């Protein structure tokens, strides 16, 4: 159905256009006729036409003036101007107002119908676009919360490769920093903790969409799922630190948000706010937000308001230190060594006259990297492994020698991490290869092999191909064909027996696979 408005101060013209449209489109159109510019504006609000034929010269407001007013509240209506005058004098303004067509009087039925068909097509395209946009929006309503939850889970799991997973691009996070807000809810606060977490979880879950909408009114942020009696918010930020006024504003907005949530949801809320961190280290902001909640009974508390908050004095290169640890744990030998050199330059510039300060910091950095590698399961460790560290550091002849020890030990740790991973991978793959070599004559599945080494089939499949250079199935098939060649060279075995001894139950399938790998059938191979 198309709603069409016809505006002309001549009754004959109105009836002519109306009858032309009705005779061709019949019940497909609902038509309203008016005779003034003012009526055009009124009908645009009440009737909301899709298409409007408007005469330029009408009593009171002209057609152009009426269109100008309508455009203030309706940008989609398709306008066709009817004029008995030279259209070029109106062309510029009509173009600016988005008029689709001029029709010069006297008009004929063919012209009216041609223009009408094109206008209807334009309306249909606009409707289809709107429909498509709504479908996309409906899908996003489902997908975006899933992506936001995935992002929050990745952060809480200390995943430093968030960007590689595509979350930053998919969620359009362009700021390099951010901070966390942890909202905690329950029936009441006792000894710094919320009571009846389970009951509150059930109630708040019913109002999760309301909660998300409320949060968005106060922060442009990523909202995580309900986890127990907590919800985690990530607020992107464009600078490394917040000033005092900004922190106070954040606290105020959080307080107002909580007040509104408590008015809409039957639960008490508290909020803890962490400090701004680089995206890769934003989990630290989450820990700070939790600490703020645990160490204060305030409705809303910022980590900077908690005594003994972990902040460095002066201009300390926190980002560089974090980069060093991140690259080291990834076994990025060159990247970690470059960070170590840059960090040593900073220490030499700031504490070059106090070597003891540099010695202590170098030892701390190496031990932190080793501890992270140990906790990640990348290296094995023993109590006496570090017994020579102090002597080696203090025995360095000068700062350059101390730098060489720091960078060299960093490279050594990266190499140990890399070697340990490779050794683990090689051990896993080697076990499976031996298993295949010993059991190729029976049915072997990827699931069975991955279960044997206690790794998921998906990850094992990727790992196997990475280490061997071919897939699990390709290696199994190649092993079977290699042994089939050996057995075919022994005339005591029939081709059918060879087929069964190599793990194939169908001789025809065995023949096809053999030919694919050897370029000839089993019979041709035996004859040759």
What's the pLDDT tens digit per position in 86-141?
655 666 677 778 888 888 888 888 999 999 999 999 999 988 888 887 777 666 66
Cβ atoms of 407 and 343 within 8 Å: the answer is: no
Q: What is the pLDDT of residue 380?
A: 60
For the stretch 326-380, pLDDT in tens is 888 888 889 999 999 999 998 888 865 678 888 999 999 988 888 877 766 555 6
In sequence order, the 6+-apart residues with CB closer than 8 A to the CB of 455 are 428, 463
Between CA 380 and CA 291 the distance in angstroms is 31
What dihedral angle (degrees, nearest 10) is formed by the CA atoms of 139, 144, 147, 153? -130
Per DSSP, the residues of 375-408 read HTTSS---GGGGTTHHHHHHT-SSHHHHHHHHHH
Distance in angstroms (rounded) separating the CA atoms of residues 330 and 324: 10
The model carries a pTM of 0.43
Q: Is the pLDDT of residue 309 over 50?
A: no
Rounded Cα distance between 10 and 107, Å, is: 13
Burial of residue 514, with CB atoms counted within 10 A of its CB: 0-12 exposed, 13-18 middle, 19 or more buried:
buried
What six digits make up the tokens of 352? Answer: 């070059």
The proportion of the chain whose per-residue pLDDT surpasses 70, expressed as a percent, equals 89
Tokens at residue 383, please?
Answer: 């109590």
63 contacts 54 by C-beta, under 8 angstroms: yes
The residue to which tokens 């106090």 are assigned: 354
By C-alpha distance, which of 47, 11, 42 is closest to 32? 47
Q: pLDDT value at position 235?
A: 95
Quickly count: other Cβ atoms within 10 Å of residue 84's Cβ: 14
């Amino acid at each position: 159905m198309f709603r069409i408005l016809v505006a002309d101060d001549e009754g004959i013209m109105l009836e002519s256009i109306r009858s032309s449209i009705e005779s061709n489109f019949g019940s497909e159109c609902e038509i309203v006729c008016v005779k003034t510019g003012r009526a055009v504006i009124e009908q645009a609000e009440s009737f909301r036409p899709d298409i409007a034929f408007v005469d330029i010269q009408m009593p009171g407001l002209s057609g152009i003036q009426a269109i100008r007013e309508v455009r203030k509240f309706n940008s989609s209506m398709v306008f066709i101007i009817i004029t008995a005058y030279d259209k070029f004098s109106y062309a510029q303004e009509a173009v600016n107002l988005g008029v689709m067509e001029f029709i010069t009087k006297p008009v004929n039925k063919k012209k009216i119908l041609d223009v009408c068909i094109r206008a209807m097509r334009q309306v249909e395209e606009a409707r289809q676009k709107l429909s498509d946009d709504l479908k996309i929006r409906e899908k996003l309503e489902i997908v975006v919360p899933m992506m936001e939850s995935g992002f929050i889970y990745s952060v809480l799991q200390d995943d430093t490769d968030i960007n590689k997973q595509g979350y930053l691009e998919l969620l359009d996070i362009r700021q390099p920093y951010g901070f966390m807000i942890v909202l905690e809810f329950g029936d009441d606060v006792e000894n710094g903790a919320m009571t009846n977490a389970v009951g509150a979880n059930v109630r708040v879950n019913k109002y999760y969409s309301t909660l998300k909408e409320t949060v968005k009114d106060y922060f442009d942020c990523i909202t995580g799922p309900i986890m127990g009696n907590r919800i985690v918010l990530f607020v992107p930020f464009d600078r490394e630190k917040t000033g005092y006024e900004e922190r106070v504003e954040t606290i105020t907005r959080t307080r107002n948000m909580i007040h509104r949530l408590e008015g809409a949801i039957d639960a008490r809320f508290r909020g803890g706010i962490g400090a701004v961190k680089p995206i890769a280290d934003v989990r630290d902001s989450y820990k700070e937000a939790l600490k703020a909640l645990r160490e204060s009974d305030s409705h809303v508390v910022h980590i900077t308001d908690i005594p003994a908050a972990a902040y460095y004095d002066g201009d300390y290169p926190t980002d560089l230190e974090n980069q060093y640890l991140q690259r080291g744990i990834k076994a990025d030998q060159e990247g970690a060594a470059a960070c170590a050199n840059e960090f040593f330059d900073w220490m030499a510039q700031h504490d070059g006259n106090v070597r003891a300060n540099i010695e202590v910091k170098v030892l701390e950095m190496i031990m932190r990297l080793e501890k992270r590698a140990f906790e990640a399961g990348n290296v094995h460790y023993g109590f006496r492994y570090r017994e020579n560290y102090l002597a080696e550091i203090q025995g360095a002849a000068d700062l350059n020698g101390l730098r060489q020890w720091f960078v060299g030990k960093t490279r050594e740790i990266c190499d140990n991490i890399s070697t340990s991973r490779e050794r683990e991978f090689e051990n896993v793959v080697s076990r499976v290869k031996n298993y295949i070599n010993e059991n190729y004559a029976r049915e072997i599945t990827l699931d069975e092999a991955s279960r044997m080494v206690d790794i998921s089939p998906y990850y094992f499949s990727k790992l196997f191909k990475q280490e061997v250079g071919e897939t699990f199935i390709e290696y199994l098939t190649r092993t079977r064909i290699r042994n089939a060649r050996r057995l075919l060279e022994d005339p005591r075995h029939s081709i059918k027996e060879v087929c069964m001894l190599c793990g194939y139950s169908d001789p025809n399938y065995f023949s096809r696979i053999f030919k694919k790998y050897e370029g000839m059938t089993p019979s041709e191979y035996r004859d040759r």
